[in-house]
Every structure is written in C-alpha cells, then in structure tokens.
Amino acid sequence: MGDEPLVRWDWIWRNWDTGRPDSILALLESHVVMAFLPVLFGLLLALPLGLASARWRWLYQPTVSVMNVVYSLPSIAVFIVMLAITGLGQATVIVPLTFYSLAILIPAVVDGLTSIPDHVRNSAVAMGFTPLRRLVRVELPLAVPVVLAGLRVATVSSISLVSVGALIGQGGLGYLFIDGWQRQFTTPIVVGIVATVLLAVLADGLLVLAQRLLTPWRRA
C-alpha cells in the first residue's frame, strides 16, 4: 500500500454521499436494512414458536436442534445457495440471517418464559387473569430482560454477518472491505470497520435503553 496514510480523510469526504450505490452513506443504509430486518422478522417468528415450545416442552428440543444446525452452516455457503432462489438481491442475505436470528431468539423466548416463578403465575390466576391476559400483562413483561439479552446478541451478530454478503454483491459496508483490498487502499477498510463497530455499539445501546424503559421495576 506504499506510502499511503492509513486514512485519507479527503477520500471519505468525497465518497460520503455521491448519490451512487457505492457511496458510504448508501452502503450504510443498505447495511442497516439487511442487518435489522432479519432481527425483526426473527423476533416476530420467535415469539409464537417460543410460546409454543414453552407450552409444549416436547416441541422445544426438535425446534432448537433444527435451528442449531442452520446456525452452524457457513454464512457464505448459505448465501451462495440462496442465489439460485432469490437472485442478486437483498433477500439473499436477509432470509439466511433471519434463520440465524431465530436460532438465538427462540431459546431466549423460551428461557424468558420458563424463568418466571410459578407463584407469580398462580397469583395472576388467582386474580382472575385469563391465559391471554396473563401472557400479555405478566409473563411477557417479566420475560423481557432475557428476550432482550438474546435480541442484543442476534442484532450484533446480524450486523457483523451482513458484511459477508459483499462476496455475492450484497454486503452493505462489506463492499468497502473488498474495494479496499482489491485496490490495496486502507481507507475504505478502516471506514468499513469503524462504521460497522459504531453501528453495533449504537444498536446495542438502544436495546439496553429499551430494556430500561420496558422494565421500570428493575430500576426500582
């Protein structure tokens, strides 16, 4: 890389928002979409699956086993396989990452629900709560800390794995890694690393704040 400095600030200013899909801002926006949609979809799917697994315990082990197998698959291999189904689009990254999120979130939902003491459930029943009202007013709120702990892991993992999609043309900030390596130019690589880390830290911080807002009794 010659006598080039580690970071060329003029390159960052020129390429921050050029209006092209390879500008830093456009890549960041793409990265956010491909990182957060899988977590959202995963959470929406994990809640009913986790509720079912907590209710019927025989369902839990087969479900977790399947998810663990999916999670163990190399992401780049899964992305390549998905190319034949979804083509060169963001869905090629979003669909596999949704399953990766599920593998983390289903156990989190089940653990959160099963960690609630029986006397708390019995108290809700004694107060005349219907099963649905007990779930919404008692069980889910008390499960929030455990579920959000899993959500934090799934979110940071998703933000990281999106970059691998750059190898098939859909990697958000991961494009900067490949571009910098191919040109033997460190600035895009540094920008990609810093932006990815900051995005992960920001997302994790927001989830911590969400947990504090959703569980005011823990602050007391």
What is the domain-level CATH number for residue 58?
1.10.3720.10
Tokens of 200: 């992960």
Please report which confidence band the pLDDT of residue 2 belongs to, taking 50, 70 and 90 as the band edges.
Answer: low
Residue 108 lies in a domain: yes
Residue 3 lies in a domain: no
How confident is the model over 194-203, as a mean pLDDT? 95
pLDDT at 53 over 70: yes
Residue 142 lies in a domain: yes
Alpha-carbon span 20 to 13, nearest angstrom: 14
Contact 7, 15 (CB under 8 A): no
Residue 133 lies in a domain: yes
Residue 145 lies in a domain: yes
Residue 102 lies in a domain: yes
Contact 59, 52 (CB under 8 A): yes
Average pLDDT across the chain, whole number:
88
| pLDDT of amino acid 48 | 93
Instruction: Tell me the CA distances in angstroms from 182 to 36, 101, 204, one per residue in order.
Output: 28, 31, 32
Higher pLDDT, 220 or 70: 70
Q: Which of 33-47, 92-106, 109-123, 199-213 has the lowest mean pLDDT?
A: 109-123
> In degrees, to the nearest 5, what angle opens at C-alpha 32 toward C-alphas 27 and 38?
130
- Per the listing, tokens 């994790």 go with 204
Interhelix angle 140-162/24-55, nearest 10 degrees: 140
Measured in degrees and rounded to the nearest 5, phi and psi for residue 43 equal: -65, -40
Q: Is 12 exposed, middle or buried (0-12, 13-18, 19+ CB in 10 A)?
A: middle
Alpha-carbon span 193 to 208, nearest angstrom: 23
Residue 4 lies in a domain: no
| pLDDT of amino acid 32 | 95
DSSP, collapsed to helix, strand or coil, labels residue 167 as helix
| pLDDT of amino acid 1 | 52
Helix residue ranges, H only, 87-185: 91-114, 118-126, 131-134, 140-162, 174-182
Alpha-carbon span 64 to 111, nearest angstrom: 12
How confident is the model over 147-161, as a mean pLDDT? 94
Number of domains comprising the chain: 1
Alpha-carbon span 32 to 45, nearest angstrom: 20
How confident is the model over 35-45, as a mean pLDDT? 95
| pLDDT of amino acid 75 | 83
What is the domain extent for residue 41? 9-219
Residue 118 lies in a domain: yes
| pLDDT of amino acid 3 | 67
Among residues of the chain, what percentage have pLDDT more than 90? 44
Alpha-carbon span 127 to 203, nearest angstrom: 38
> In degrees, to the nearest 5, what angle opens at C-alpha 122 toward C-alphas 116 and 125?
120
How confident is the model over 30-58, as a mean pLDDT? 93
Please state the pTM of the whole predicted model: 0.87
| pLDDT of amino acid 205 | 95
